Amino acid sequence: MQQPGTRAAERAEGPRPSGRPPLTERRKAETRLDIAYEAVRLFAERGVAATSGEDIARAAGISPRTLWRYFPSKEECVRPLLSTGLETTARRLRELPADRPLREGLEAGLPQAGEADTTTAQLQLIRLLPGEPGLRAVWLRVHHDAEHVFAGIIAARTGADPADLVPRLKAVMLNGALRVAAEEWARRSAEADQAAGVEGFRQAVLQATEALGL
Amino acid sequence: MQQPGTRAAERAEGPRPSGRPPLTERRKAETRLDIAYEAVRLFAERGVAATSGEDIARAAGISPRTLWRYFPSKEECVRPLLSTGLETTARRLRELPADRPLREGLEAGLPQAGEADTTTAQLQLIRLLPGEPGLRAVWLRVHHDAEHVFAGIIAARTGADPADLVPRLKAVMLNGALRVAAEEWARRSAEADQAAGVEGFRQAVLQATEALGL
DNA sequence: CAGTTTTTGGCACTCACTGCCATAGTGGCG
DNA sequence: CGCCACTATGGCAGTGAGTGCCAAAAACTG
């Protein structure tokens, strides 16, 4: 099923695309993602408890010792797939002109038609969360880490101090709404279809931004 | 410093107050709380990493094997101290007449004057969270578990289905605000005084309930 | 007080993770 | 091309968290 000795990164896209100077950086990022994908696959197949760190390492074509250098725990292996969404969202919000409502930045960039390729693994992972407390902890932690980022963005738009109570509260509440929105997306994508999932996300975001005046 | 063989429960309040029928239940609950207090004390003294499960067990006067029967991990030992606040809050909200605004139930029961005895350990624990990822995970998990409870309460007041998006969103956002409120309480209690802490909590709750129309 | 159930403890085991050191790639430079 | 510095990887051994299993003790029942 898996070629034990084969580097996952190499399987992923054949000959490396001649990276510029930070070649070594690229390699590490790729390995990180490879581990993440393999971990999600194994967790989905047999569950987290039945998957050992050694299993993940073998699937990714690295030694266990190296796996623990990339991630501090087996659950954390999935973090890249859980955090990219929030990171790109934060980037879009930062680039949004201060006179545009925040929800425009949140709705932009949603998959419009049928292209759901890249997000498939993410959605599958989010659907795993209810039954896997260890993964849920990572999910909550990722969102918690995003709180101060959103607080900074919201504060910057209003000229407030990011340490003030109001921007922090708005950030936490928006962040929670984004979490529910993503969970709703994943749920509806499985029960109905992609379009229904995206619509669920949009509705949740709309409700939240309206209530918070964003 | 600690009498190793002495049951922590017995130290806590001398001769047991002649419990009625469910004596065994009472005992277990007491032991649970004892473990929690000892764990917080040790975590605060030396940090989580430098505290072993055996240390906690010894401090609580039980064997390690028994400790793992009460809690699934050493970090989880502090859970009782993190969850009681949310539980009493939920109880008060449930008992609140449906025609009263929710914030009345949230402000009721706050320590009015100087009696901060029982909450001291909780506040100390919350102040530990920023530097202890493992404990922060428990904190987030406790709040996550409270989400569906709040969703039920909010849904019941409006006659909506607890599974609907709107009550769920309001619950998550309120819940996040309560978390920030508690953190603010703990922070200000240390930097200023009790009154300032409680005031921080009240302000955060007010902001949130106003934005959410609760 | 005897019998039954529940709770606790001891023991051995697995596995997540870490520090230490050797080895193999990788990039820079004459 | 060949040498050198650096970094990434792997192996090995160790710690400690957490679990299953069984025996001892304590609590509840009649």
Q: What burial letters (b/e) apply to B16-48, b meaning 16+ CB within 10 Å?
A: eeeeeeeeeeeeeebbbbbbbbbbbbbbbeeeb
Chain mean pLDDT for chain B: 87
Q: A24 and A9 in contact (C-beta within 8 Å)?
A: no
- C-alpha A65: how far from chain center: 25
The confidence score (pLDDT) of residue A87 equals 95
What residues approach strand D to within 7 A at the CB?
A 24, 27-28, 31, 62-63, 65-66, 69-70; B 23-24, 51-54, 65, 68, 72-75
Assign A93 a pLDDT band (cuts: 50, 70, 90): very high
Q: What is the pLDDT of residue B112?
A: 63
| Phi and psi, residue B94, nearest 5° | -65, -35
Q: Between vectors from CA A140 to CA A136 and to CA A141, what angle results, nearest 5°?
A: 115
Lowest mean pLDDT among A38-52, A153-167, B7-21, B186-200: B7-21
Q: Which nucleotide is nearest to B26 (CA to C1')?
A: D27
Q: What is the pTM of this model?
A: 0.88
- The answer to whether A67 touches A53, Cβ cutoff 8 Å, is yes
Q: Of B20 and A149, which is predicted with more confidence?
A: A149
More confident residue, B108 or A31: A31
- Locate A40 and state its tokens: 């999600």
Look-up of token digits 């918690």: A144
Q: Minimal Cα distance from A185: which residue of B? A: B165
The pLDDT value given to residue B26: 84
Whether residues B180 and A166 touch (CB distance < 8 A) is answered with no
CB nearest B172 (choices: A169, A177, A200)? A177
Show the tokens assigned to B106: 């949230």
Mutation target vs B (from A169, A187, A202, A205; most B CBs, 10 A cutoff)? A169
Q: Within the 130-149 window of chain A, which residues sit less than 8 Å (CB to CB) from chain B?
A: 133, 136-137, 140-141, 144
Q: What is the pLDDT of residues B85-122, one digit of tens each?
A: 999 999 999 999 999 999 999 988 777 655 556 688 99
What integer pLDDT is reported at residue A164 of this predicted model?
95
Identify the DSSP state of A95: H
Average pLDDT over residues B133-160: 97
Number of CB pairs, chain A paired with chain B, less than 8 A apart: 71
Taking only the tens place, the pLDDT of each residue in A141-184 is: 999 999 999 999 999 999 999 999 999 999 999 999 999 999 99
Whether the Cβ atoms of residue B138 and residue B212 lie closer than 8 Å to each other: no
